[in-house]
Structure formats: structure tokens, C-alpha cells
Structure 1
């Protein structure tokens, strides 16, 4: 069963087009980078070359990488198993906007039996690059949304 609009908003970043658009109304790429930027007027990321709305965390939105909006690629049927984060998703981000997604990637890669250790390690590593307030904010959202999803 596909996620409801509310579940999709909870599962995705604040800079994700899934916050305001339906599945299929944006493309999905493998990670943030120079090919996408946040557009504050729209409230989500877009591909820099085409201005197409784009999600940069496939494992969060629950869709594989695809050109759903720009080429009309069909949205696949929902599965019960969440997508696994890529190796690149497990690299500590440069931008604080991607911190929450990184923590979620770390937790999903660790698996249910190692969540406590993964949370502690993620918090310590994030604190080396980001301010305490940013780390706490990201951790709170992850704890209230992602951990609830896992149970």
C-alpha cells in the first residue's frame, strides 16, 4: 500500500518536493550535489539544468532513481520493504539540510539490532561538522519519525 500524503511528508526532508507534490510529479536522483539546488520560492529542490522538481533521497521517498516527471516514467507499485541507502548516502553531508537524511541512512544501514550504537556514532560524527542545535534538531525528527516507522 502506498504511503498517505501525511506519511510521505513525515518520511521526507523539508526540502523535498514530496512535501507538496504527489509521487510522479518530480524526479528522483541518487544524492544531493551540484546538479540540484534548493529553490526557496518553490520550497523544494530542483534540477539545475531543467528546473524539474527533484528528490535526492530515494530511500526516504520510497522510490528508486527515476525520471518520473521529466519523461513520464511510471511510478512503481509500493513495496513493504524500504529502499536501502546507497554508499554515498552514508557519507556525512556538507550541508545541514541533508543531516537528517544522513542519520536515517546510517540507522537503516545499521539495522534494528544496532540502532543504539548507530545513533550514538552518528551524533558524535555529526557534532564534528555541525552545530549542537542542528544536530539535536535532526536527531529529534529522526527519533520521532524514523524510529516510530521501524516499530
Structure 2
């Protein structure tokens, strides 16, 4: 996970807009909406989008790499911070979603957590094969 206060996206890392809050705020400190809307109008004075409560908003989830959600408004965890599912059958979907959004320094932790769940469920399971399937 990015260190507290570190921008979620660094210049050139993802194809985000020049006004994206991810360039100045840590993950979780802004909301992500599906698209521009009246729910987060553009503020010409600051050059950014905000909710009526003043929470910064990104309107391009596919560019920032986060699913649309009210991370800052509702205090939702980022995808790689959500607890992994208890059921090994659901781990592959969780791994994929978490790794798609996670910054590089959080990926090892996601894989370790998935490995622990899978090994606890079936010590004979080929964990590498399950992870490959999840990521293919």
C-alpha cells in the first residue's frame, strides 16, 4: 500500500488526467465515480471535481485502476485491503481484483494472504496453479 500521504499515482505511471486526485492524494483519500456527473461537479476555481461534501473525485476508474467506490466518503477499504474471502473457491476472484488495483509494493502481501488461505484449505493444492489461473 502507498505510504500515508504519498500520491496513489505517480506521473506517467497510469494514464490519468492531469487533474486526477490520485496524482496528489493517497489511495482512499478520494472517491472514484464511474464517469463525470452532477454528483461531483467540476470546480473551475480549483480545477478539480468534488462531491457536495468536498471530497475529491476521480471520474475514470479504468485509468486510475480502482473500481468506482466511495473510498473517502464512506471510508471503504481499497481492493487489496479488503479481507480475503474465507472460501478458497472465491480466492481467485479476490486475488485478481486486488492485484489489478494494488500498487506494486502491495502485491506480495496479496499473494501471501491468498497462499495462506489456499494452503490452509488444502495442503496438497498446487497454489501456483490456482494463482496462475486467477491471473490469466
TM-score (norm 2): 0.48
**Structure index of larger Rg:** 2
**Structure showing the higher helix proportion among its residues:** 1
